[in-house]
Structure 1
């Protein structure tokens, strides 16, 4: 008797509305740079049960949520799942479906060289396998690496995060090692969980406008456009000897290893797109050079829903699977946030009506967060607050309170009407 695979959550024809909890972890520190752990900054480690209840209370059905790898394995060969056990129990008790970020930046403190360590792929595979063995009977949806292009840029090209490599060669080295770990992690999870597992690959939408054709920018702009998809292309077996960035990957990836990627390719079930209207489009200016990233950023251009449509269509066309808005918001007033929530969901509804296979929408984050620049100052966290959430973070004698604002009310109403979007 032939067995048929059960229909998965994203195949039911609905638009699934979700939320995320900011989960950036860069635990390494050095002179002038503090370790950053958003769960610690936002007190999620203590308030996780309250946070999951808040997500459920506004009608979210899915929650993008990450695991602090560096805390799970505080020393090589040592595994501590105590907090993660309690958090996952509380999350599932709220009826939420977690899409687990296994890697949202940051490696364990004992891993010298971080993403450049030759043993990184083996270590991250072991972490993924152990997670799946422990939770795979209840947790079925995984993002092996959140935003690999941002990992590779910040750690490999901009020298902003460990291991502080710089330039196109640094980007290629980090991208290649991330891709190796990505493939090994997904294959390990699939071996443990079986065909019930679903994989939501997530990357950042990035585009470039302005004087990108100026002689001093032309080559860099073209390289950046191409490498936006490089890690996803590698893990899905799309990079061959004729790929536009093949030469830039050498010697980080040999011809024999290209064959390995193609033979061991892993595919997304859903392609997630992270798009921020005020940050996802960078502008080149004639006669002006910027190194990129937070340290020396290019100006941004707000392309609004036009940029979101372009990003969703580009990822859908390139990877030919359902797509999902996995992160979006604006940092601004309540009115500005509500306007973007309305405008972006209206666009998603319109695109679905036109036939686009968009299966989900995640507002990021559930509550405010603290800007990554906190890492580079000695100022209090309040000086780095980003007003992005459905709930305000409010300092009090009892710690950080989560105070709902009108964005939460609007999200709740939209979630109730999601079946019609």
Structure 2
């Protein structure tokens, strides 16, 4: 059918992603993270797009580096992103554009807590949508907004370093307001041609969740995993389990009414699932704060956990779902086993009638762990072997080396295209 959105054509679409975490702020003991710089994507972007084509990826989740296109307030430099998005078009590769992937430009004092954050991010989004209206129509307003909220608002791990429940509520509501304004700004430019792929991280909690010392926290976390998406889609009202938490930290009727009146919905709900990280365990008698600084143990529930998360998001938000990120960080045989098992599980869900429209291996090539920010070791000490292509240090460059996972992914993608 003409003008049928790609996610409505009945196929399972295969794609990959390029890690695009950007936290440019620095302070003593913390250096900037720019994954495009670490992986040399700024220099090798053309070859990297060719890698995506070589594995028969139909789409590539890829982010605009906001801190690069807006290095100072009121100054815009789109020269690099112009070349890359034109490169997508030349190859017939669909970009699903991350507008925000873990950080703001350094000139925004207070980052998400700045009183004008929402207007800043909405202006950037509108400019991007207008500039690339002929090149990109698929946008993710915020990648993993709940992890943003936890890292920047509860754990004090990333700027603006808020902590505790009050910090979580402050940053989650700020990110949610920016999310809404971002989507509405893009929609104002692109109209019905825009597709919005909301993406959040799977957060499952298991173990001794009913232990007296964990019961209240585990209950909150189980609902908290959906907090930002519930806010932006207008689902937080009377009876919402987190309403008392929000009210206790200053969220009033007017703010909740604003979210209800300005709600935005996903065209596709993206679910990120990593079998070794997405299920955290509570242990009786043991307290963990969560996050990188004080992590809980995790449990690998394999494809059962992934299937549960895809069903949960599909039922909760009433939209087609896609597996927006998945992989295991391990050797090639282990990655191959997960690729085959996860594709089979997704296909099984589709057979059962769950509207799963996409499968994304993350990343296209290896990346560097976020612990790089708090380290003084070279990037090689933080390499994560996750990709369809290995990153290999050479005397002159960071080479990409195709591995057997790429061949297997291409075989799955080729079957999915038929």
Classify the TM-score, shorter chain.
over 0.9
Match of 2:370 in 1: 372
Please give the root-mean-square deviation of Cα atoms over the aligned residues, in Å.
Answer: 1.1
3-state SS in 1 of match to 2:142: coil
CA contact (8 A) 1:114 1:162 kept: yes
Distance, in Å, in 2 between the alignment partners of 1:254 and 1:127 is 28
Distance, in Å, in 1 between the alignment partners of 2:316 and 2:8 is 20
Listed as ranges, the gaps of 5+ residues in structure 2 are none
3-state SS in 1 of match to 2:95: strand
Match of 2:306 in 1: 308
CA contact (8 A) 2:99 2:139 kept: yes
Distance, in Å, in 2 between the alignment partners of 1:156 and 1:360 is 31
3-state SS in 1 of match to 2:57: coil
The answer to whether 1:62 aligns with 2:62 is no
CA contact (8 A) 1:26 1:107 kept: yes
Listed as ranges, the gaps of 5+ residues in structure 1 are none
Give the counterpart of 1:299 among 274, 285, 297.
297
Match of 1:99 in 2: 96
Q: Where do 1:325-340 residues align within 5 Å?
A: 325-340=323-338
Please list the CA deviations of residues 35-63 of structure 1 after superposition, one character each: whole Å capped at 9, or x if unmatched.
00000000000000000000011100011
The answer to whether 1:219 aligns with 2:224 is no
The answer to whether 1:183 aligns with 2:151 is no
Cα displacement (A) at 1:5: 8.8
Distance, in Å, in 1 between the alignment partners of 2:376 and 2:29 is 8
Cα displacement (A) at 1:124: 0.4
Cα displacement (A) at 1:418: 1.1
Match of 2:5 in 1: 8
Match of 1:284 in 2: 282
Q: Where do 1:19-418 residues align within 5 Å?
A: 19-250=16-247, 251-418=249-416
3-state SS in 2 of match to 1:105: coil
CA contact (8 A) 1:65 1:100 kept: yes
3-state SS in 2 of match to 1:324: strand
Please list the CA deviations of residues 71-101 of structure 1 after superposition, one character each: whole Å capped at 9, or x if unmatched.
1111111111011111111122111101000
Normalising by structure 2, what TM-score?
0.98
Distance, in Å, in 1 between the alignment partners of 2:185 and 2:375 is 39
Cα displacement (A) at 1:257: 1.4
3-state SS in 1 of match to 2:20: coil
Distance, in Å, in 2 between the alignment partners of 1:258 and 1:305 is 36
